[in-house]
Structure 1
Amino acid sequence: MTANALPAADRLTEVTPSITGREIAAELVPPPQFHTATFDSYRPDKEFPSQASAVQTLRSFARTWEPPQPGGFFGWGRKKQVEHKPGVYLDGGFGVGKTHLLAALWHEAPAPKYFGTFIEYTALVGALGFQPTIDLLRGSKLICIDEFELDDPGDTMMMTRLLGALVGSGTRIAATSNTPPQALGEGRFAASDFLREIQSLSSHFETVRIDGLDYRRRDVSGTAASVDDDTLARTVSAISARGEHVTADRFRDVVDHLATVHPSKYVKLIAGVDVIALADVQQLHDQMEALRFVAFIDRVYDAEIPIIASGVPLNDVFDEEMLQGGYRKKYLRATSRLIALTAGELPPHD
């Protein structure tokens, strides 16, 4: 492949997606790999008993939607239901199964119910407005929020108000989160940070701690697969010949294009794509570019779209300064996902 040539294929950079509030709401369901997630299909690591304990706690939380069991005279023989707060927060590092358990809880809940990332809910408010979003979500039995963003005070405050209105009307909330920029550590999402940031809602949440190792580090190698340009071109041609929808772009072009698309629309950017090819991957040194790329990879991972890449291995795409900075955990999570995506192995739970 010559310096400027790319294999014949569609380009992500030629897609300018749009999305409406109703379309966002319709997408508020678990990602494809979690469409059948259950508590039974979660695989607790025996080395970390908190994982099995979390499953039991969430099973109990799910029983709060069950009608009371009839008992004998004066209620004798009736099994007393465990009392739970209206909100539950899954506290654990990346790759310990929080998203799987969140999806399993969503499947247990009666409708209406919603499941989405923090950015999808804020995008919904942006598209519909604050009060119309409350009106749309009011009456929900469960709202699941994956990756609650704590590093934007304005959006965090807005979401706290939104959830407060919904909890007041009887909706239950389940959430996971990342950490704010000042909180560092090896993959821990500290419950104290989450509860402090949501302020007035904190008393409504109980914390479920989930310890463990990132399963992606256990199940795949520690390096993202990288190929030369000629191999990338031949692979793209072979995939296209099989009738699959493959896109081929230069990495730098995709990074620039992401700056022109709101992150809430990234899901539409990759709609219908089976494989993504990125040529001439380069290390990122700009924080905003890196964070946009993280958001993009989150959507690619949710959609289970493999990546073929040439140039710098994608596990090295974030420079050392970023990996030591305030968004360290986001970059480490994205790195583990990039390893899985380029290795062609997408394990069954996050």
Structure 2
Amino acid sequence: MADTAPLSLCAREPHVPADRLVAEMVPPPRFDSVRFATYLPDPDQPSQTEAVRVLEGFAAGLDGDPAGGAKRSFLGFGKAARKAKAPAGPRGVYLDGGYGVGKTHLLASLWHATPAEPERKAFGTFVELTNLVGALGFQQTVRTLSGHRLLCIDEFELDDPGDTVLVSTLLARLVEAGVALAATSNTLPGKLGEGRFAAVDFLREIQGLSAHFRTLRIDGEDYRHRGLPEAPAPFTDAQVTKAAHATAGASLDTFPALLDHLARVHPSRYGALTDGLAAVCLTDVRPVPDQSTALRLVVLADRLYDREVPVLASGLPFDRLFSEEMLNGGYRKKYFRAISRLTALARESKGLVAE
């Protein structure tokens, strides 16, 4: 293949208008084609099969259930709400489980299975939702989403109490308007144990909405490594550079320079930062120097994984990105998820290097 000049993430400073934030609240490309039928439950984990059954019923129960204009409330607010007949079952589901058990797959499958036009269903991460509020303002966000039948929130973040209260208040307004909710969530600082977020804490944090969520516990191991070979060892700088020049649409950056650049780009723009990339090639991967940088890298890893962008790297393997202190701290689940996802993307990049 002819040599092509690689792109550079460090040269990109994307601007993301508010209307794009709304339009892009759909399952990311990696989950375009997922359905309940394509979820492969671990036969040793019956909770996975049970989760599919319950979610299929939840989606079916949303058929013909309008949101918005009728101002129906399933929380019991107001006279009109007391006169309205609330549908059977909860208005929200929370998927509780460790990383890599397929929570996002199931959440996206629920979005696809819900009988409503795409513009009346929304899917996004907690960060994307808070970015939407920042772009539109609280009241306009309520008006924009109140006509939806379903709002799916992946990776509900509880690290910032202010954002948690903001989103909890937003969700209360949306449920009052008749919007059904579904969520997965992340770890609070200081929550160790299984490395997952406990359902009881999630329900407490969303305050008055807790009674309207049904918790689905999903047990299992990280499917990205279930029965699969170990992640490939890092390549050499020369191999990564050659592959970047040989792959149309690939980017090439040094890892330290990329980390510095991420500090200058708001995380809400990391998706746009990766627009059109066929692969991300990184040289000189080394341990992340501090927690702020590490958390930015987690967001980038999520956006790359969502968009199925393979990552080819030299330097240290991805399981050595984060220090032992980080991996034992309050954000440990985020770091393990980033390692898991970057490892999967590294595995997908092997074909970029000529034998």
* Counterpart contact for 2:311–2:349, Cα < 8 Å: no
Q: Which residue of 1 aligns with 2:105?
A: 100
State how far apart, in whole Å, the 2-side matches of 1:271 and 1:61 are: 34
Match of 1:206 in 2: 214
Whether the aligned pair in 2 keeps the contact of 1:142 and 1:173 (CA below 8 Å) is yes
Give the match for residue 26 of structure 1: 23
Mapped pair 1:311 → 2:315? yes
Amino acid at match of 1:124: L
Mark the runs of 5 or more structure 2 residues left unpaired by the alignment.
66-86, 351-355
TM-score after normalising by structure 2: 0.88
Q: 2:264 aligns with which of 260, 279, 290?
A: 260
> 1-side partners of 2:8 and 2:286: how far apart?
18
1:141–1:171 contact (8 Å) kept in structure 2? yes
Task: Look up the equivalent residue of 2:284 and give its one-letter code.
Answer: D
- Contact kept, 8 Å, 2:188 with 2:197, in 1: the verdict is no
CA 1:224–1:162 in 2, change beyond 3 Å: closer, same or farther? Answer: farther
- Measured in 2, the distance between the counterparts of 1:21 and 1:185 equals 39
Q: In structure 1, what residue type is equivalent to 2:49?
A: A
Counterpart in the other structure of 2:80:
none
Contact 1:220–1:345 at 8 Å: present in 2 too?
A: no
Query: What is aligned with 1:88?
Result: 93
Q: How many residues align?
A: 324
Within a 5 Å distance, the mapping from 1:1-350 to structure 2 comes to 8-67=5-64, 83-109=88-114, 110-111=116-117, 112-223=120-231, 225-239=233-247, 244-344=248-348
Task: Please give the per-residue CA displacement for 1:243-281, whole angstroms capped at 9, x wherever unaligned.
Answer: x20100010111011111111100000000010011101
Partner of 2:78: none
Which deviates more, 222-231 or 116-125?
A: 222-231
Q: Kindly indicate whether the alpha-carbon contact (under 8 Å) linking 2:133 and 2:141 is maintained by their aligned counterparts in 1.
A: yes
State the Cα distance separating 1:186 from its structure 2 match. Answer: 3.0
- How far is the alpha carbon of 1:210 from its aligned partner? 0.6
Which stretch has the larger CA shift, 92-101 or 185-194?
185-194
- 1:71 corresponds in structure 2 to none
4+ residue runs of structure 1 moved beyond 4 angstroms? none
8 Å contact 1:122–1:159 — kept in the other structure? Answer: yes
AA aligned to 1:123 is N
The answer to whether the Cα contact below 8 Å between 1:221 and 1:339 also exists between their aligned partners in 2 is no
Residue by residue over 1:266-321, the C-alpha shift from the partner in whole angstroms, topping out at 9 and shown as x without a partner, is 00000000100111011013000000000110000000000111111122111111
Question: Aligned Cα RMSD in Å?
Answer: 1.8
Q: How many angstroms apart in 1 are the aligned matches of 2:132 and 2:63?
A: 30
> Within 2, Cα distance between the matches of 1:289 and 1:254?
10
Matching residue's letter, 1:150: L
SS of corresponding position for 1:234: helix
**TM-score when normalising by structure 1:** 0.89
- In structure 1, distance between residues paired with 2:342 and 2:192: 21
- TM-aligned CA distance change 1:288 to 1:217, over 3 Å: same
**Percentage identity across paired residues of the two chains:** 52
CA contact (8 A) 1:225 1:309 kept: no
Q: C-alpha displacement at 1:155, in angstroms? A: 0.5
Provide the secondary structure at the position in 1 that maps to 2:215. strand
Unaligned segments of structure 1, at least 5 residues: 1-6, 69-81
Q: 3-state DSSP class of the match of 2:95?
A: strand
Deviation at 1:221, TM superposition (A): 3.6
SS at match of 2:169: helix
- Name the SS for the 1:65 alignment partner: coil
1:76 match = none
Residue 203 of structure 1, CA deviation: 1.2
Amino acid at match of 2:216: V
Deviation at 1:219, TM superposition (A): 4.2
**Deviation digits for residues 181-239 of structure 1 (CA, Å, limit 9, x no counterpart):** 12113343310121111112111111011111101121434445311111112211221
Give the counterpart letter for 1:308 in structure 2: L
Give the match's secondary structure for 1:143: strand
Give CA deviations for 1:97-130 in whole Å, capped at 9, x if unaligned.
Answer: 1111111110112130100000001000111111
Amino acid in the other structure paired with 1:285: P
Residues 77-104 of structure 1 deviation map (CA, whole Å, 9 limit, x = unaligned): xxxxx93110110111111111111111
Offset at residue 345 of structure 1 (A):
7.5
Q: Distance in 2 between matches of 1:226 and 1:218?
A: 21
